[in-house]
């Protein structure tokens, strides 16, 4: 089905949900359980869910006795190798009471540029969904290089939504919705809806930020949401604390209206790893 409004999210056939590092690591690691509970509720309604989860590096940092996100690639890869294992364990532990099994899918930007790899990834996720397994997708930080990264998992989530022909994409953040400028600044007002083709040039979303655990920010979510909406995928940006309300079709967050003229088919052509284009 084509999801054209927030309210229709509750009855969506297939949804991609993206959660960031800061929402599920460190002092927020306990939030995995309520996030999983919301996913399980949607799952129980018959919705097929794909979870794109950041957090491998952030989760691995304490095990490497790191207080801040490493800047060198080798240490990032080491932290990801440890953290991905722990992260999936935590998700599976939270899923166990709902009798849901997780399946790990690790991708690099090169995988989506390569036709064979892209086809294999799509086929694997289709099979997982048909078997009622929850695919948990992350960038394969252990082998990715600075030159061939998605840049942020918001973009990865938009590409995965295209890849699997999702009806909608939910990008979870630390704030309830997007604002016309950073919410701490005077004059910042919440953005309820972004119609397809709206000119957002007058808004100040800020550049990509790097904090102690991950990368991202409002700008990356706007970019990813715009890309997905242009492909006919409705996008909701809201807080991870409101995931239940979001998947339940309640009026929360910022809604990006999809292009109703876009062809509704899974991603088949090559994609760009750049930040401004989405081909295919």
Q: Are strands 234-239 and 254-256 parallel, antiparallel or unpaired?
A: antiparallel
Mean pLDDT of 252-257: 96
- Quick check: 265 pLDDT over 60? no
Number of domains in the chain: 1
Q: In the structure, what pLDDT confidence band is assigned to residue 148 with cuts at 50, 70 and 90? A: very low
Q: What is the pTM of this model?
A: 0.89
Residue 259 among known ligand-binding residues: no
262 occurs within a structural domain: no
- Does 221 belong to an annotated binding site? no
- Taking only the tens place, the pLDDT of each residue in 105-140 is 999 888 888 899 999 999 999 999 999 999 999 988
Q: Is the confidence at residue 279, as pLDDT, over 80?
A: no
Range in 48-52, 113-117, 145-149, 174-178 the model is least confident about: 145-149
Q: Percent of the chain beyond pLDDT 90?
A: 64
In a domain, 261, yes or no: no
Which of 146 and 64 is assigned the larger pLDDT? 64
- Is 31 labelled a binding residue? no
pLDDT band at 206, cuts 50/70/90?
A: low
Q: Determine whether the annotation assigns residue 5 to a binding site.
A: no
Query: What is the arithmetic mean of pLDDT over 172-201?
Result: 88
pLDDT on residue 140: 87
What is the residue range of 135's domain? Answer: 6-256
Q: What is the CATH number of the domain that holds 150?
A: 3.40.1160.10
Residue 161 counted as domain residue:
yes
Establish whether 173 is an annotated binding residue: yes
Specify if 106 maps to a domain: yes
């Amino acid at each position: 089905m084509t999801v054209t409004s927030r309210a229709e999210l509750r009855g969506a056939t297939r949804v991609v949900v993206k959660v960031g590092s800061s929402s599920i690591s460190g002092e927020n690691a306990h939030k995995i359980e309520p996030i999983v509970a919301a996913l399980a509720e949607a799952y129980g309604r018959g919705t097929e869910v794909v979870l794109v989860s950041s957090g491998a590096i952030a989760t691995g940092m304490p095990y490497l006795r790191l207080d801040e996100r490493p800047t060198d690639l080798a240490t990032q890869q080491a932290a990801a190798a440890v953290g991905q294992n722990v992260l999936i364990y935590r998700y599976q532990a939270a899923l166990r009471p709902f009798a849901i099994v997780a399946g790990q899918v690790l991708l690099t930007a090169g995988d989506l540029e390569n036709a064979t790899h892209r086809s294999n990834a799509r086929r694997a996720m289709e099979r997982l969904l048909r078997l009622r397994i929850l695919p948990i997708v992350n960038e394969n930080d252990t082998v990715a290089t600075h030159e061939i990264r998605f840049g942020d998992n918001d973009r990865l989530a938009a590409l995965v939504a295209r890849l699997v022909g999702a009806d909608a994409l939910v990008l979870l953040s630390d704030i309830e919705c997007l604002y016309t400028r950073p919410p701490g600044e005077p004059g910042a007002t919440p953005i309820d809806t972004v119609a397809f083709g709206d000119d957002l040039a007058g808004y100040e979303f800020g550049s990509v930020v790097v904090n102690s655990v991950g990368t991202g920010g409002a700008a990356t979510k706007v970019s990813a949401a715009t890309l997905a909406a242009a492909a006919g995928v409705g996008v909701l940006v809201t807080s991870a604390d409101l995931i239940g309300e979001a998947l339940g079709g309640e009026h929360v967050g910022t809604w990006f209206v999809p292009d109703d003229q876009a062809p509704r088919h899974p991603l088949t052509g090559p994609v760009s790893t750049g930040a401004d284009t989405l081909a295919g």
